[in-house]
Structure 1
């Protein structure tokens, strides 16, 4: 019995050893040709379209994790945004969601579950600001995210490419912003005391254009003709309470960095009072404005000197813009940073416009 058992065990080991040898050989061959070592990894690139009024998307990655938010602050009742072409109740406004990006990519549509006659409806949230209960105005927004299924982005802190296509009419002066679609940094470093932050490395390349396609240039004249009112900004929240620092509503301070500012209606809080400080970061001059928003939060906004033309490529440590705010009505070095996101506040536009974030990397170093 002992000999038979050994022979049987040998027959079990032989195919295992052969399989391992073959796989190691395949791995060595693929690596020698510059190919991924694992032949069973899905290396496809996918574009997914998200049109819900509030939806978080966290793609798989081998590095830093991010969550994409197609967040509507003032979703309009009766606004259909997940069909090929939509006409709204107000003449002159029509929103058509963008097509999925990439001829060889696979794509998925993610639309609201409130479906009627093949149209997804964004129902109005009764808790939204400054909107009468019976409001049925036009508008719509869709987010397109391009992901690598194998999670291998250019660097460990690189985010997936993403874009938004949107159109909204002008809102009331008390609530001009309809949405802030953004990509939020998900990190176990939060909340972190400002004194413990050695750097906030930030890199981006972005474009804004008229139409449904992802633009590769920024033409201010075209955006002006489309009557675009929007910004492109980094958004951060801070508080002396580490838990509140991670909450965009409860946090005491909001610090923004505007890299783009389009349209006369796109005005930072504190503009009438004028800038209270200036600072140069990697060759770009920023002016600081301060005020209080509708939630009672202290808002400090750094606006790039050439934001009207768009600071489309920017690579710097933005940590210094959090330093020295104590004497200017801002957080102290003992307060906590709990949230960082990058996106575009969508106010209004007379036609479809698309914001495209081609490159983004954020890293809080302690």
Structure 2
């Protein structure tokens, strides 16, 4: 069956020269639509026929998507990516990586005015009724080679922090083998799964035991744990940091919205 494709990303940009302000709408269409607004990079990042903050303004965005092919597989990762001259950075030199975000997810058909928080009703039931399969994740890549750490599909290591998963298809690599560790971050437990993907990359995934729609935490201790447990070498370079949603399947159009995001990191003194 031919894949049903639908993925469009919208950015709400607010420009305020002097005393004047102007709202500008930016729409990304197509497989690899991209928009740069320093220090952020916004990506449609769709495939399977189918940004950034050290200093600078974040522009809220939302993505409309729908995939109906069977069996459900990852079709895209609409995301915001951190772009900074401080990357790539050796993990051994990472003193702190503070990341925060607020996001929501709902069917486009949800009752007007209803909360888009997937932890609340009627949104939770509406998502389930539409058969949604996706995750919401911080996605990072590292490699022993600094240049390769920023080259898609060339990195040796993928480190993910899943803040939510929906549907049976959206499970981390290594799911069937079970979690190898669990730690607490910001009051929520995150379990670690490990495995190798189809690109030959080692994938290390921290999965929250609940849906976390608002978070603010330091990723550096997670990296330190992976190094201490010999899952990740300390001399690899962290080159790519993204936040978005891996989209698998939905009967009808979904709205993934990011209302706040920041990522700040520092090297060890």
Normalised by the length of structure 2, the TM-score is: 0.84
Contact 1:234–1:342 (Cα < 8 Å) also in 2 = yes
Residues 131, 250 of structure 2: 8 Å contact kept: yes
Contact 1:69 1:181 in 2 (8 A): yes
Corresponding residue for residue 271 of structure 1: 175
- The match for 1:200 is 97
**Residue 338 to residue 224, structure 1, CA distance change in 2 (3 Å):** same
Distance 1:242 1:209, change over 3 A: same
Is the strand fraction higher in 1 or 2?
A: 2
Are the equivalent residues in 2 in contact too, given 1:269–1:293 (CA < 8 A)? yes
Q: CA deviation at 1:333?
A: 1.7
Equivalent of residue 332 in structure 1, options 222, 230, 233: 233
In structure 1, the partner of 2:208 is: 304
Q: 1:359 to 1:37 in 2, by over 3 A?
A: closer
Please state how far the C-alpha of 1:349 moved relative to its aligned partner: 0.3
- Once residues 56 and 202 of structure 2 are traced to their aligned partners in structure 1, the CA distance between those partners, rounded to angstroms, is 30
1:159 pairs with 2:58: yes
Match of 1:71 in 2: 45
Q: Which of 1 and 2 has higher RCO (CA within 8 Å, sep 6+)?
A: 2
Gaps of 5+ in 2: 1-15
| 1:220 to partner: Cα distance | 1.9
The number of aligned residues is 244
Q: 2: CA distance between counterparts of 1:166 and 1:249? A: 23
TM-fit CA distance, 1:170: 3.3
Unaligned 5+ segments in structure 1 are 1-35, 77-152
Asked if structure 2 preserves the Cα contact closer than 8 Å seen for 1:171 and 1:177, the reply is no
User: Aligned partners of 1:328 and 1:225: how far apart in 2?
Assistant: 40
Measured in 1, the distance between the counterparts of 2:229 and 2:29 equals 39
Matches within 5 A, 1:1-366: 38-39=18-19, 43-59=21-37, 61=38, 65-76=39-50, 156-172=55-71, 176-211=73-108, 216-218=116-118, 219-306=123-210, 310-326=211-227, 328=229, 330-366=231-267
Partner of 2:3: none
Query: Would the alpha carbon gap of residues 158 and 331 (structure 1) be closer, same or farther in structure 2, given more than 3 Å must change?
Result: farther
Residue 297 of structure 1 and its aligned partner are, at CA, apart by 0.3
How far apart are residue 293 of structure 1 and its match?
0.2
- Map Cα deviations across residues 241-263 of structure 1 (whole Å, 9 max, x no partner): 11111122111000000001001
State the Cα distance separating 1:212 from its structure 2 match.
Answer: 6.5
Q: Distance in 1 between matches of 2:75 and 2:106?
A: 18
1:328 Cα deviation from its structure 2 partner: 4.6
Note the aligned Cα RMSD (angstroms).
Answer: 2.3
Q: CA deviation at 1:37?
A: 8.4
Q: In 2 relative to 1, CA 248–212 (structure 1 residues): closer, same or farther, beyond 3 Å?
A: farther
Change (3 A) 1:75 1:202: same
CA–CA separation in structure 1 for the residues paired with 2:89 and 2:63:
30
C-alpha contact 2:179 2:193 (8 A) present in aligned 1: yes
Contact 1:237/1:247 (8 A) holds in 2:
no
For residues 55 and 24 of structure 2, the distance between their equivalents in structure 1, rounded to whole angstroms, comes to 19
CA distance in 1, matches of 2:17, 2:86: 32
- Structure 2 SS opposite 1:324: helix
User: Which of the two has greater helix per residue?
Assistant: 1
